[in-house]
Amino acid sequence: MTLSPSAQLQLTESGELRHFLTVDGLPRPLLERIIDTANSFVVVGNQEVKKVPLLRGKTVVNLFFENSTRTRSTFELAAKRLSADVLNLDIKTSATSKGESLLDTLRNLRAMHSDMFVVRHSQSGAPHFIAEQVTPNVAIINAGDGRHAHPTQAMLDMLTIHRHKGAFDQLKVAIVGDILHSRVARDQVHALATLGCKDIRLIGPNTLLPAEAASLGVTVYTDMDMGLEEVDVIIMLRLQTERMDSAFLPSASEYYQVYGLNRQRLAKAKPDAIVMHPGPINRGIEIESEVADGSQSLILDQVGYGIAIRMAVMSMAMSGQMQERQAAEVI
């Protein structure tokens, strides 16, 4: 099997994770292994001692060039539960804000014998650039870049679906809202398709649907009621207002009237349909509180699963890095 350039960058010669930059191009067995590994970590959060020693002695640096609370805190918790030492670099007060180049910052961190960089950046492709520039024994995990990708969010969504719905091949999944500006929607589509989901629906106004949507192997709906018919999973997306202007959206209230998830629209889906949202939630704009807090909502579960997925990805990438290093030493 010929791997895409992105997959080649992410994987070792033996097919193990080296970096985790995007779901696109990764093989199904690897995605399934990430889910299985994460499943084994879910119980760690329920233990009295919430730690395993898999990254003991390793240093993980959180490089967040863009604000985040949920993603950053879950990555930090994941690293600490793996027994790693964690450095949270405050970009606003770091040397980068004083004129130091990104590469010089990375070289200094690398000189401190860091083992992993968790990178969030407003520019699409920034984690790929960093992965290409650092030495082979530093793992790069993409915590979200521009409009491009958010692979750990996509995989925690896959873990959520798998734990509550089982196999993907018979499921109907609707992704609703601001597809155009969403970094996670693309990785969700790639992950769902790779895991065997045959009915993936993108629902939203034309102004918030990417031009290439129809080429992604999905069904596109601008009518939310039609799009939600008999679906098993509804993934609501946050309106990325910081990445759009008024031309994309007449008003938040008008958007809610047409695309907000309320009880009436939820009734169009299957009775046991689950509701998800990557957060943060804009109540009364994307979803009504009664649905967000209702029995079919798994929004809070997703947060917990996010720690498990990030533990899985970090431990697998570090294992792949170590195996590759050992193989190089033998040669």
In a shared domain, residues 207 and 221: yes
- What's residue 301's pLDDT? 95
In a shared domain, residues 38 and 138: yes
297 closest CA partner among 289, 309, 305: 289
In a shared domain, residues 268 and 165: yes
Confidence band of 70 (pLDDT split at 50, 70, 90): confident
In a shared domain, residues 133 and 206: no
pLDDT tens per residue, range 277-307: 998 899 999 999 999 999 999 999 999 999 9
In a shared domain, residues 38 and 95: yes
CATH at residue 144 = 3.40.50.1370
Cis, bond preceding 280 (omega within 30 deg of 0): yes
pLDDT tens per residue, range 206-220: 989 988 887 889 999
Specify the number of domains making up the chain. Answer: 2
Report the distance separating Cα 17 and Cα 4, nearest Å.
Answer: 14
235 closest CA partner among 116, 309, 150: 150
Is the confidence at residue 104, as pLDDT, over 70?
A: yes
- What's residue 95's pLDDT? 46
In a shared domain, residues 17 and 145: yes
In a shared domain, residues 130 and 63: yes
Expressed as residue numbers, the domain containing 137 is 5-149+304-330
> Which residues are CB-contacts of 120 (< 8 A; sequence separation ≥ 6)?
63, 64, 65, 66, 68, 71, 72, 142, 143, 144, 145
In a shared domain, residues 218 and 110: no
pLDDT tens per residue, range 120-135: 988 888 899 899 887 7
Strand partners, 59: 85
Is the confidence at residue 243, as pLDDT, over 50?
A: no
In a shared domain, residues 99 and 235: no
In a shared domain, residues 97 and 192: no
In a shared domain, residues 157 and 268: yes
Confidence band of 28 (pLDDT split at 50, 70, 90): very high
In a shared domain, residues 182 and 256: yes
Confidence band of 187 (pLDDT split at 50, 70, 90): very high
